[in-house]
């Protein structure tokens, strides 16, 4: 069975004619700028072109890792994990201190203590993190900020309560 010759090219593709079977002459594009070299074989139809660097062979080597940065994507292993216990403790104590502000009397005293400890632990953890000895920077910042906010609010509340007691205390002792 023979096929009729293809119609003339009117697509402007430079003489390339699509042939889904890849068996008719003229179906492969001719590149006049690339001379035929001895041992040159045209690409087999139906196979993707071979690109350098693919196929069996040694894996590419990754550059050395810079200190203080997480490993590159695809790097083998993450190495030892840095401790972040102080950062976690600072954050948890800061959250407890904020919650303790809602409880009158005993909660406010506990909030002040937890806020002070959270701020101290957060500062120490940040110092270790910046030195590269620990991890958990976001948690340490959260604990430090919550501890400072709770301490500031506690001082404002104590001053307000003290001024109210002083105002009403003097008014109640006056007799007419």
Q: What percent of the chain has pLDDT over 90?
A: 31
Give the span between the Cα atoms of 70 and 163, in whole angstroms. 53
Decide if pLDDT at 144 tops 90.
yes
Max CA distance (Å), the chain: 128
Domain residue limits, the chain: 85-168
What is d(CA 100, CA 112) in angstroms, rounded to the nearest whole number?
Answer: 9
pLDDT band at 73 (very low <50, low <70, confident <90, very high): low
Asked if 84 contacts 136 with a C-beta cutoff of 8 angstroms, the reply is yes
* Torsion over CA: 139, 140, 143, 146 (sign): negative
Task: Note whether 129 and 165 are within 8 A (CB).
Answer: no
Amino acid 172: pLDDT: 57
> Does position 10 have pLDDT exceeding 90, yes or no?
no
Closest CA to 150 of 105, 103, 118: 118
* pLDDT tens per residue across span 162-173: 898 888 876 555
What sign results for the dihedral spanned by CA atoms 121, 127, 132, 137? positive
Which pLDDT tens digit goes with each residue over 105-123? 777 788 899 999 999 999 9
Is pLDDT of 6 > 80?
no
């Amino acid at each position: 069975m023979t096929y009729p010759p293809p119609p003339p090219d009117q697509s402007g593709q430079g003489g390339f004619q699509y042939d889904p079977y890849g068996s008719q002459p003229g179906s492969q594009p001719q590149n006049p700028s690339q001379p035929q070299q001895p041992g040159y074989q045209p690409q087999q139809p139906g196979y993707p072109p071979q690109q350098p660097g693919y196929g069996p062979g040694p894996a590419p080597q990754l550059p050395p890792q810079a200190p203080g940065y997480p490993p590159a994507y695809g790097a083998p292993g993450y190495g030892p994990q840095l401790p972040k216990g102080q950062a976690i403790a600072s954050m948890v104590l800061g959250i407890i201190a904020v919650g303790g502000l809602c409880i009158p009397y005993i909660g406010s005293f506990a909030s002040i203590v937890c806020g002070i400890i959270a701020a101290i632990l957060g500062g120490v953890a940040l110092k270790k993190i910046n030195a590269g000895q620990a991890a958990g920077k976001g948690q340490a910042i959260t604990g430090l900020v919550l501890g400072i906010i709770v301490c500031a609010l506690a001082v404002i509340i104590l001053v307000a309560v003290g001024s109210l007691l002083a105002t009403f205390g003097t008014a109640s002792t006056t007799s007419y």
